[in-house]
Structure 1
Amino acid sequence: MGKMSANKPRHELDGTDRTILRLLQQDGALSNPKLAEQLSLSVTPCWRRLKRLEDEGYIKDYQANLDRRKLGYDVLAFVSVSFAVHADEAPNRFEEAIRDRPEVLACHKITGAADYLLQVVAENLDGYSDFVENVLRKMPGVHSIQSSLALREIKSSSRLPVPV
């Protein structure tokens, strides 16, 4: 498992904790009173459990899931980036720069033929081309860039399966 916030010891999740996690993944705006009602708990014990799950790092943050197309992002690209040399600082500088790019939804250091896999959105192909030409190609040390454009989105979710 990942590193927990504030290095607090991990509390063993019980069925109620797992239900809280499932319910909040479905609706992050669920109020504590509504959550308590669904769990058949009073508000204070429900709040304590929720606070503990947050403190122990099970819940990292809350966000709304937005429709990228309604916001004008019609292009979704998966981009493999490779470096010729890994011993210099170029990969570290790349990681720092990518963290600040709002069009990059995700970046993973991976195994296999490429070094990084990015998930990138753009309004259109011209916007994506601009990102590749003026951002990725200008980063020191980048050896190759391979793009795969999504033709159709079958499933897109950040919800994790919570064990029963």
Structure 2
Amino acid sequence: MKKENPTAALDDTDLAILRHVQQDGALSTPQLAERLALSVTPCWRRLKRLQDDGYIRGYQANLDRRRLGLDVFAYVSLSFASVGNPQPAAFEALVRDHAQVLTCHKVTGNADYMLLVVASNLDHYSQFVEWLRAIPGIHTIHSNLALKEVKADYRLPL
């Protein structure tokens, strides 16, 4: 069974709109229209449709974490003691609301979850790890601290 291509419903102009707003979410509709050689109203309609259809989930600025005092960037993998217990669902609810956790993914391999975490310093990160240890059911926690940021770009290849 062949999987349907989710971008098949998008034409070249739609993809160009997505590329532009992904690059600069602060573009006004007139600026976007000018870059695409469209008039403002059709550009606005297309942009609105892309938002309504869920291709654009929201807009945010990319902030410099170091300038904001968040010098520690950690990859944290963790595993639960047993499979099929209700504790992972409770864990997921907790991490959704924890500001230090930038991303959390349920993964395959040696761990059950992989998190990206920021902290102001190692003491602050240590407090985060202690918070994790207090969550029932977590069996192992492994941390990898980033020593150098080579690339940090979350724009999708369109």
Corresponding residue of 2:70: 73
Choose from 79, 83, 95 the match for 2:80. 83
| Residues 110-149 of structure 1 mapped to structure 2, 5 A cutoff | 110-133=107-130, 135-149=131-145
TM-score w.r.t. the length of structure 2 is 0.94
- Asked if 1:102 corresponds to 2:89, the answer is no
Distance in 2, Cα, partners of 1:87 & 1:14 = 43
Corresponding residue of 1:21: 18
Distance in 2, Cα, partners of 1:130 & 1:38 = 47
User: What percentage of aligned pairs have identical amino acids?
Assistant: 62
Corresponding residue of 1:32: 29
SS in 1 for 2:75: strand
SS in 2 for 1:127: helix
Q: Partner amino acid for 2:122?
A: L
TM-score w.r.t. the length of structure 1 is 0.91
Distance in 2, Cα, partners of 1:148 & 1:11 = 39
Corresponding residue of 1:160: 156
1:86 Cα deviation after fit: 2.1
SS in 2 for 1:144: strand
1:113 Cα deviation after fit: 0.3
Runs (4 or more) in structure 1 with deviation over 2 Å come to none
Structure 1 unpaired stretches of 5+: 5-9
Q: Please give the per-residue CA displacement for 1:101-141, whole angstroms capped at 9, x wherever unaligned.
A: 000000000000000000000000000001001x1000000
Distance in 1, Cα, partners of 2:125 & 2:22 = 31
Q: Please give the per-residue CA displacement for 1:10-32, whole angstroms capped at 9, x wherever unaligned.
A: 87111110110001111000000
Distance in 2, Cα, partners of 1:11 & 1:78 = 35
